[in-house]
Structure 1
Amino acid sequence: MDEHDFLAHRFEGHRAHLKAVANRMLGSPTDADDAVQEAWLRLARTGTAGIDNLGGWLTTVVGRVCLDMLRTRKQRREDPHDARLPDPVVTGPEDEVLVADAVGVALLVVLESLNPAERLAFVLHDLFGVPFERIAPIMDRTPAAARKLASRARQRVQGAPVPDRAAQRRVVDAFLAAARGGDLTALMAVLDPDVTLRADGGKTRPSQVLRGADAVAGRLATFHRMATTTTSRAAVVNGTAGLVNTAGDALVSIMGFTTANGKITGIDILADPDRLAGLDHCSVF
């Protein structure tokens, strides 16, 4: 076994842990794979000379990579024209308690609300036991500052309200009924005045961001076509009530809904064929 193969063998021994860290940081298996691959490339370039704790070094590298990716993601989301959506986490409507991941879908959703530094400090310390002395240099903060970030994140996680899944489902069912019937009045009744729709159609179809009930309701013909030409299955998408739309054995789109006070405040539609093809279909179908 030459030096490169030996290094690759040692890296593989840490891959599962690194993937778990990256997945909890990013909430996207695809992005997590990219972060882990970047860690391997950096290790392959530098070698292990001067590295006393390879696992700790790799965790730090993955943390830095994920922090950069989260910051880039946040900047994209602040772009009013950006409609790229993160990979959805999809489970059956009654199966969320069976999700094997120790974090679970609900926590991933709460983590999405944290800023990148809070998320890094919380995930690495609270979920993986990384000491603040090692976390601080990743974000160019002091250990005390990193501790405060983790504490603030912990409070938000612990204070997150328990979602009323039945109420969410009623709102999504009302949306689907309005779409199937082509009923504009019923659709407007279920949309919050400030609703935002983000549709990620990929390379071949234009993506879009729509804001306001009038603009979203203006897509009624598209919703009607979706509801009458595909089979819509209830699912939990990113921790809230959603829909998985299929045509035969083909996955057409995944819709996630954000609701409040009996109204839809946000609709995320992933319809990018390339990204849908890359999802774990065992968890979607």
Structure 2
Amino acid sequence: MTRDITVGQFLPGQSLLHRLDPRTKIVLTLVFIIQVFVSKSALSLCFLIVLLGVLIACSHVPAKKVFRAVRPMIPVIIFTALINIFYVSGNPVFHYSFIRITDQGLFIGFTLFVRLTALIAGCSLITYTTSLNQLAAGLEQLLAPLKRFHFPVNELSMTLSITLRFLPTIAEELDRIIDAQKARGADLSSANLYKKVHAYFPIILPLFMSAFRRAFELTNAIECRCYQGGIGRTKMNVLRLSRLDYQAIVFFCVAFGLSIAFNLYFPTFF
């Protein structure tokens, strides 16, 4: 299970994506997410998938590891795609009793599956190529203008950093609890759904107790250090956009411009 938790895992390297400023990666990732969901052209969606492949190649992160982030979300993706397959109107392809599948439903379900897969894989790149400290610093500086409205920017960035940092730790704790329960004779592989759900109750309680204990210890550590957010704090490493960042911004502006052009000048999905 720990192998499937990719959020918060950073792979050090010297690739093009590793050397980009975290603010650049955060903004471009958000734009990529928007482009994936607003793409109405088959050519535009294919172009974005090719772009994702180029980014994976530039990151020097194995594609198998990138798409491992999709594995825990496969049931949700499949369920969402199936809803569209059975409930979207169109020319019927299969009809039996209350089950009705249309060609438009199949097409929309498939494109939705592709969209969600590309979305999760693209988002996993930013955590693989950006350390949590850099990610928090980039988010803090991007949201810095909100400080004028008394928005807790520093607290938000620290909370995000701590959350991402402890996800792999909680996954490891879950593995240890499962192994301990199996050693006590817990049957977690039962085919009976009721028994399987009932067997997981002794796992959920220790996991929550462990998470609350870690949160309590972390809260005490923060209070003992008199943490006051960003008041009077300075930065050891100040983020500055480099020439590579400007080149990446220009490249992505051109790429997303082409994606918009494909949406405007080529046939749409619907």
Shorter-chain TM range is under 0.3
Higher relative contact order (CA 8 A, sep 6+): 2
TM-score (norm 2): 0.27
* Bigger proportion of residues as strand: 1
* Structure exhibiting the larger radius of gyration computed from Cα positions: 2
- Larger fraction in helix: 2
TM-score after normalising by structure 1? 0.26
